[in-house]
Amino acid sequence: MPKRCCVPGCKGNYEAELRSTPYRSVFRFPKNEELKSKWLASIPRKNWSPSKDSVVCDAHFQQAEIVRTETYVLQDGSANTES
């Protein structure tokens, strides 16, 4: 079962479970507190903090920020900017 995006209203990997869309890449929250704060500021959830398993899908990042290898990683300092 794929991890599901924590951004409200995002269907990242929900439809994938139904086989109607391809799986999306997901990213865990950064350990760097300054960058983590930028991510949280971009997510419209009040009084919420991510768990160790919370993820954001690739739909919320500019494609130029995603380094595509066999496993996808974000460039240093990337903040989710796409809703």
Q: 11-39: per-residue pLDDT in tens? A: 776 655 556 566 788 899 999 999 999 99
pLDDT at 42 over 60: yes
Among the residues of 1-83, which ranges form H helices? 14-17, 33-42
Longest C-alpha distance within the chain, in Å? 37
Give pTM, 2 decimals: 0.71
State the pLDDT confidence band at 51, using cuts at 50, 70 and 90: very high
Distance CA 81, CA 83 (A): 7
> Which pLDDT value is given to residue 10?
87
First-to-last alpha carbon distance for the chain, in angstroms, is: 24
